[in-house]
Structure 1
Amino acid sequence: MKAYDDKHVKNIVLLGAPKSGKTTLSETMLFEAGIISKRGTIEEKNTVSDYHEIELERGNSVYATLLHTEWKDYKINIIDTPGLEDFIGEVIAAIRVADTAVVLLNAQYGVEVGTEILWEYVDKYQKPTIFAVNQLDTELSSFNKAVEEAQQIFGNSVTIMQYPVNQGPGFNAIIDLLKMTMYRFPTDGGKPEKLPIPPEEKEKADKLHNELVEKAAENDDSLMEMYFDKGSLDEDELRAGIKKGMLQHHVFPVFCLSAKNNMGSGRLMGFIDNVAPAAIEVPAEHTANNSDIPIDPAGPAGLFVFKTLVEPHIGRLTYFKVISGEVKAGMELINLENNTTERISQLFIADGKNRNPIDRLQAGDIGCTLKLKNTRTNDTLADKRFPGPIAPLAFPSPKVRVAIEPQNKGDDEKLSEVLAEIHMEDPTLIIEFNRELKQVILHGQGELHLLVTKWRLENIYKMPVVFLPAKIPYRETIQKPAQASYRHKKQSGGAGQFGEVYMKIEPWYEGMPPYKEHPVRDSEEIVLSWGGKLVFNNCIVGGAIENRFLPAILKGVMEKMQEGPLTGSYVRDIRVSIYDGKMHPVDSNEISFKIAGMMAFREAFHQAAPQLLEPVFDLEASAPDVMMGDIMSELQSHRSIITGMDTLNGNQIIKARIPQAEIDKLFAALRNVTQGKAKIKSQFADYAPVPADMQKKLSESYKEVDAV
């Protein structure tokens, strides 16, 4: 296969809400370029892009898929992405390595919820952007509405490059404002006929052409001077101005499409070839320490891994973008993250599941390789002269969680291995082995994200699993002082066991006055790994308990604090003072005092007004003003406390505190009432008391389980 230089490689990412036509467009682009001889369809389950079993079953994209076309001596790498927020990790990685974002708008629905979420990342990375209004052949299509909504949301940089002459079921003609030509397509699509602009469209076309000229001229002082001198710009000058505007994120050209009927895709590809920036023209990449690394064909070899995929019967596939120099099959590169050496045994250009071997890839190109041993997503492989690892992709925090266990109890170790492999492919799926809760917890972007993970476990890895509610990491403490004693005595022939402990426990807080009821011989302040503190006072006088037994008493207290008396949760923020006790010259030993200390603490705890604490999170929900009532109602029905309100970019922001036990349910409820338009983020804040009725219920449930 032909290798293209850096000036003739264009990398685009197809973005849009579900059903906006991304996969259909990618199929049409491959067909137009002659890469495939027949277009597949989602209904027939034979597209190049959607080839994974789960995608065929669901009828929409789950993975970002790399494809390519060759068009008029240019290579266009295409990444077709999922439209659902649950798979946002795939989208973020694709946006990061693309040089131009092509955002599809469904002409029937305009700017949909998913599009706004995707735009955050396009804007974050300042990617040159093209908008394509698709499905102009449908009954309810409205090009004007789609463009107006885009301009309202994304700003006046949204600039009409084409508009439809006859949108709707009979759609077959487009006015192109760059070439000032009408394109009329044959019934079955494909190459259009070039015609003069009809008289009835001339006034509208001239007006929009002038707006395009002004937009192009705004981005370059020399073009602005030409525009003032001549009153217009020629086609080449327009292209130069539009490209500069795209690079500055100031011009977002709008194109017209019916991807299903193969109308408009050729003109779009022509624009990508002629105007959209190549990798060498876009802003430099950044290293992890924020220095610049330009796309440089003459620099030391270096590539950035943006995706890892494990294919059945093939193994691990590593997808990458060449940042600098030239990568050749057979060369060895250093992994700058772990300092291991990897051999690039084979190089491929990917078209879905099909991989075409190639000898070398230049800076700016995208490809894949097989069976790298120590390389993962976000790693940089490079020559030793390369300036440093590329700044990693930043993925959003998980939003929902669920506990998981294998159906077959003996498969715990195998499940751990499989989950580690899935996390390697999908860094937005976080695996937590929680020793406190005694659960393996999956953290994901949404319920669908978790369900697809379950499907993969059961269908790809043949690992039947069960989803369970994730437990809440409660904490226990006390609200008032209490005293208790416990005598441990055991006689069973020979040496027995004896230890008696008297203790007082109190709620601990920062800055509390010293203990004065009994003289404190020594005190130990222990910062607990699960939060809070234990202060342990030795107040023994007169040798009632020898000093060598005090560590055993502390150990007993600590063991009970790791499985609290109320619900089995960790105990925190308590001061324990050991002020008396008894021992036996023969039968006393460490185990006796450990048990006595544990049981005395248990009894005192139940008398000290025990309080169960729950983790609470600071939450921000952002949405349009009209949805605020519904959001407030949901927050209040999920035990939230509203802490403030703000406004940002035309949206209202509600700030609240919410118990962790309510977050998963709230996330699903807000998606429901806002049709996915609410953007939610949360962060652990503190522990707060659980309501009395909940505490009673949880305590009684623990007693039932503990009694079994």
Structure 2
Amino acid sequence: MKVYKTEQIRNIALTGNAGSGKTTLAEAMLFEGGVINRRGEVTSKNTVSDYTPIEQEYGNSVLSTLLYTECKGVKINILDTPGMDDLCGGVVSSLNVTDLCLVAVNATNGVESGTVAAVRHTETAELPFMFVFNQLDHDNSNFDAALEQCKASFGNKVTVVQYPVDAGPDFSAIVDVLKMKMYKYGPNGGKPEILDIPDSEKDKAEELHNELVEMAAENEEALMELYFDKGSLSEEEMRKGMKLGMLQRDLLPVFCTCAKKDMGVERLMEFIANNAPNPKERPMRPVVDGKELKMDESDSPSLFVFKTAVESHVGEITYFKVMSGKIKEGLDLINTKSGNKERLSQVFASAGKNREKVEELVAGDLGCTVKLKETKFNQTLATKEADTKYEPIKFPASKHTVAMKAENESDDEKMGEILNRIKFEDPTFVIEYSKELKQLLVHGQGEYHMNVLKWYFDNVHKIDVNYIQPKIPYRETITKPAQSDYRHKKQSGGAGQFGEVHMIIEPYSEGSEPKTAFKIADKEYKMSVRDVQEHKLPWGGKLIFTNCIVGGSIDARFLPAILKGIMEKMEEGPLTGSYARDIRVYVYDGKMHPVDSNEISFKLAGRNAFSKAFKIAGPKILEPICNLEVWVPSDRMGDTMSDLQGRRAMIMGMGSERGMEKISAKVPQKEMYRYATSLSSITGGRGVFNIAFDGYEKVPAEVQDELLKAYEAEQDEE
């Protein structure tokens, strides 16, 4: 394989809704570029992309796949990505190492949830994108309706470069208003006949050509002046204006294909070769640490790992983008995270499961290697002198959580090891063992995402695992002051134990000052505040420990033991065993014994005095509340609102955004289990949402009663 210079490289990502024909389009592009000599089909399970067992069983892309093809002496690297937004990790990582995104649109269905999600991810990545209307030969294909949906969703930047003649079963011709030619295909596609535009299409083509010229001219002042002077632009001038517009995301070209019959694919590749930005024309990935390098083959070599995969018979495969310099077989680089040396024993250009050894890859190219010792995704390899560390890819926050448990306890350790490996292959999985809930939690993007994970356990690792609803991390606090005292006394043969503690506890709110007097149960207590300690709790909230001891009734050396006893009890609230928070404790009196008093005695006395006081201080359960943002089509607004109200949501605001209706709300975490599935069902897969923890609030009385009964039943079982 020849070595391509940076200017001869185009990196593109194929995105779009599941079923829009991305994998079939990639197959046709590889066929046109001569990388394969026969086009496979998804239904026949013989495509270059979608080659893993899970993808062949599911019938759609689950992982991103690196491919390459060639057109006019230009190497086009393609990342074929999953269409389900639950599997967005492959999309996000791909958009971070490519320079143009092709959003495939099913001409029968128009704008779908995956279309909206793909465009949303390009916004985050600040990446140019264009539309490819595919499957124009279907019975119900409707180019005009799909185009109108695109313009309604993404604005008038959507600009027709090609449109079909007679979309549907008889589709065989595309009018290209950039070249002002018609491409006529035979029944099996392949090489087209390039013809003049027929009279029946001339008026429409001229109108769209003029629109395209105007859109191209708007992107540079010099082009605008040329347009005003000449009334038009040459093809070369239009291409320059279009490229500028695409780079600024001000122009979104529309192309037409029937990938299954290889119609329009060669012309699409030609446009990419001529108009897509090369890696030098896009901003360099920011550097976190070390020397800032240039996207230049003469600079010091460095690469950024965007994907790690494991394949049977091959082992771990590391996919990377060459950020600077040249990468050759046998090159030694430093992992800038660990400082350890890695040798690139082999370097490959990747076409799915087919990998071709290459002499070298230059800055901007995508490739892979095998058998690295420790380098994983989001890590940088660079020379020791540069010590460059590129900014990591940021993945979307989790939207769905399950607790995971092996069917057989003996498999627990193995399950943990597998999960630890999987999170490197798919970084949108977040694995966490909650000490508080005593559960292994797996956070992901949705129920489909979790089904993929379970498939691997069932079919690859042969371990039976169960998903269960995760427990909720409730908190407990108090609502009124309470007084208690406790004497710990123990005599057993030798030295005894003695400690007595008197305390008052009250609710704490941020910024409040300690009180100097209380009236509890008709009895008055005066406090002489000598010392205040503020303790931020690991689980949120605070404990304020106030020393009000006068006259030496308790020696100062025993106060840390009392505090320790209180802290231990705060880890186990009396209502549901949840952590307690936001409490101020006043230790104001007590008794010691000259011989038997020690730290353990006062720790137990403090612990029990606090427990007694907590139970009579109006204890209340707090629940975690989440900030929720939901985007739904206007015709599903009512159903979505009804569903949220059934989840005890408090609606904070509504508006319109990106052609969708946006709802902002605060919702208890308890009510959000499987919300991703519910929203998808309500909106036909078109709704999307973001969720983030906000804080804790008191639960309603009826909910508290339910929780108390459930906790009592659980304790009885144990």
Paired residues in the alignment total: 708
In 2, Cα distance between the equivalents of 1:399 and 1:119? 19
8 A Cα contact 1:480 1:507, kept in partner: yes
8 A Cα contact 2:627 2:694, kept in partner: yes
8 A Cα contact 1:635 1:666, kept in partner: no
| Alignment match, 1:600 | 609
Deviates more, 1:659-668 or 1:100-109: 659-668
1:674 matched to 2:683? The reply is: yes
For residue 360 of structure 1, report the CA deviation from its aligned partner: 0.5
In 2, Cα distance between the equivalents of 1:630 and 1:383? 57
Structure 2, unmatched stretches of 5+, are 518-525
For residue 349 of structure 1, report the CA deviation from its aligned partner: 0.7
In 2, Cα distance between the equivalents of 1:60 and 1:182? 33
For residue 524 of structure 1, report the CA deviation from its aligned partner: 3.4
In 1, Cα distance between the equivalents of 2:284 and 2:552? 74
In 1, Cα distance between the equivalents of 2:651 and 2:228? 55
8 A Cα contact 1:286 1:293, kept in partner: no
In 1, Cα distance between the equivalents of 2:106 and 2:151? 15
For residue 24 of structure 1, report the CA deviation from its aligned partner: 0.7
| Alignment match, 2:644 | 635
Identify the match of residue 653 of structure 1 among 634, 642, 662. Answer: 662
Superposed CA deviations along residues 461-510 of structure 1, whole A, max 9, x for unmatched, are 33332212111111111112222333444455444544443333222233
1:684 matched to 2:693? The reply is: yes
| Alignment match, 1:438 | 438
- Match of 2:441, SS state, is strand
| Alignment match, 1:514 | 515
| Alignment match, 1:245 | 245
In 2, Cα distance between the equivalents of 1:446 and 1:511? 42
- Match of 2:288, SS state, is coil
Cα pair distance change 1:387/1:586, threshold 3 Å? closer
- Match of 1:455, SS state, is helix
Give TM-score scaled by structure 2 length: 0.93
Overall identity of the aligned pairs, in % = 53
| Alignment match, 1:330 | 330
Cα pair distance change 1:706/1:594, threshold 3 Å? farther
For residue 690 of structure 1, report the CA deviation from its aligned partner: 1.1
For residue 661 of structure 1, report the CA deviation from its aligned partner: 1.0
In 1, Cα distance between the equivalents of 2:298 and 2:434? 49
- Match of 1:299, SS state, is coil
The residue type equivalent to 1:432 in the other structure is E
| Alignment match, 1:568 | 577
8 A Cα contact 2:336 2:387, kept in partner: no
| Alignment match, 1:532 | 541
For residue 356 of structure 1, report the CA deviation from its aligned partner: 1.1
The residue type equivalent to 1:151 in the other structure is K
Superposed CA deviations along residues 161-197 of structure 1, whole A, max 9, x for unmatched, are 2221121111111122233222221222211222332
1:412 matched to 2:412? The reply is: yes
For residue 64 of structure 1, report the CA deviation from its aligned partner: 0.6
- Match of 2:19, SS state, is coil
8 A Cα contact 1:634 1:666, kept in partner: no
8 A Cα contact 1:429 1:443, kept in partner: yes
Deviates more, 1:490-499 or 1:47-56: 490-499
Superposed CA deviations along residues 221-280 of structure 1, whole A, max 9, x for unmatched, are 444444444443333333333333323333322211111112111121122223322223
Cα pair distance change 1:307/1:384, threshold 3 Å? same
The residue type equivalent to 1:514 in the other structure is K
8 A Cα contact 2:293 2:299, kept in partner: no
In 1, Cα distance between the equivalents of 2:441 and 2:414? 16
| Alignment match, 1:701 | 710
Q: Write out aligned runs for 1:123-142 (5 A).
A: 123-142=123-142
| Alignment match, 1:155 | 155
Superposed CA deviations along residues 582-614 of structure 1, whole A, max 9, x for unmatched, are 455555443333333322222222111111111
In 1, Cα distance between the equivalents of 2:247 and 2:531? 69
In 2, Cα distance between the equivalents of 1:128 and 1:581? 72
| Alignment match, 2:562 | 553
Identify the match of residue 626 of structure 2 among 617, 637, 658. Answer: 617
In 2, Cα distance between the equivalents of 1:170 and 1:625? 35
In 2, Cα distance between the equivalents of 1:585 and 1:284? 73
| Alignment match, 1:54 | 54
The residue type equivalent to 2:379 in the other structure is D
Deviates more, 1:457-466 or 1:383-392: 383-392
Superposed CA deviations along residues 65-103 of structure 1, whole A, max 9, x for unmatched, are 001112332211111110111111110111121122111
8 A Cα contact 1:620 1:680, kept in partner: yes
| Alignment match, 1:199 | 199
In 2, Cα distance between the equivalents of 1:412 and 1:451? 19
| Alignment match, 2:476 | 476
Q: Write out aligned runs for 1:204-603 (5 A).
A: 204-288=204-288, 294-384=294-384, 386=386, 388-509=388-509, 510-516=511-517, 517-520=526-529, 522-540=531-549, 544-584=553-593, 587-603=596-612
| Alignment match, 1:25 | 25
Structure 1, unmatched stretches of 5+, are none
8 A Cα contact 2:66 2:78, kept in partner: yes
In 1, Cα distance between the equivalents of 2:242 and 2:549? 84
- Match of 1:62, SS state, is coil
8 A Cα contact 1:89 1:428, kept in partner: yes
In 1, Cα distance between the equivalents of 2:713 and 2:491? 31
| Alignment match, 2:187 | 187
8 A Cα contact 2:154 2:659, kept in partner: no
Give TM-score scaled by structure 1 length: 0.94
For residue 371 of structure 1, report the CA deviation from its aligned partner: 2.2
The residue type equivalent to 2:419 in the other structure is L
